[in-house]
Amino acid sequence: MTDCRQVLTAMEELAPPVLAEEWDNVGLLVENPGPVTGILTALDITPEVVREAEDLGCNLVVSHHPVIFQPLKSLKWDNPACMLLARGMSGICMHTNLDAAQEGVNFQLAKLLGIQDPQAFIPCGRIGTLETTPAALAEKCRRTLGAAVKMVEGSRPIHKVAVISGAGGSMLEEALAAGADALVTGEAAHHIALAAQAAGITLVVAGHFATERPVVEVVAGYLAARFPEIPVKVSQADRDPFGQYLC
């Protein structure tokens, strides 16, 4: 019978813990003994995701964002980590190590956008070739990721595109140093947009959730192949906390 520590070993082969940032919290963050009856993959472990897992008979949730990140100063019944424990469920979280993994979050984002030969240019970012225009790149992000997109239109043609999922706007200078003509990320502050405008680089901001969510299906496929005897499902309750965008 497979237990959660065996699944942890498989996930650490996909996303080695050594790749995680020092400040991060990754691994088996909630552990309950016994065999794994089913696995649910998600970006976030929210109360809705925990209840969904219970309904589906999945006693292990594998997520990207840590279910325990800031120190817990109190324990409450509706805290997702407490909900897992109370239901006899476990939680494995692979965060910045999955961002930086060879076929992790940013590799999958680059692949989805059609970027050729994506290479690491910082531990988590990827950069490769894509001949396009600012408008076409923004539209591709909108369609491919199902995202509401904001764009700073660069002043030069696009030949090389960098991707840094999630809150990657702060790494604009690194993308520029790597020779990027465009950066696709999930979040970017106002001053980063101004810096992109001044540098002439195209900046496409497509949302934290949208730029990272594709890896959830990839993880599900990986685990299904590694553990064919265990049902593996992709969460449908795992949703962008910003909800619907208003135009």
pLDDT confidence of residue 245: 56
For residue 224, being part of any structural domain is answered with no
Query: Tokens standing for 244?
Result: 């619907």
Could you tell me the CATH number of the domain that includes residue 27?
A: 3.40.1390.30
For residue 84, being part of any structural domain is answered with yes
For residue 132, being part of any structural domain is answered with yes
For residue 31, being part of any structural domain is answered with yes
For residue 222, being part of any structural domain is answered with no
Query: pLDDT at residue 204 above 60?
Result: yes
- Tens of pLDDT along 81-108? 999 999 999 999 999 999 999 999 999 9
Average pLDDT on 101-125 reads 96
58 and 38 inside one domain: yes
**Number of independent structural domains in the chain:** 2
pLDDT confidence of residue 243: 74
128 and 77 inside one domain: no
For residue 106, being part of any structural domain is answered with yes
Report residue 244's pLDDT band, with 50, 70 and 90 as the boundaries: low
Query: pLDDT at residue 246 above 90?
Result: no
59 and 148 inside one domain: no
93 and 111 inside one domain: no
126 and 200 inside one domain: yes
Structural domain for 9, as ranges: 4-99
Distances (CA, A) of 246 to 187, 188, 241, 242: 18, 19, 14, 10
For residue 233, being part of any structural domain is answered with no
149 and 125 inside one domain: yes
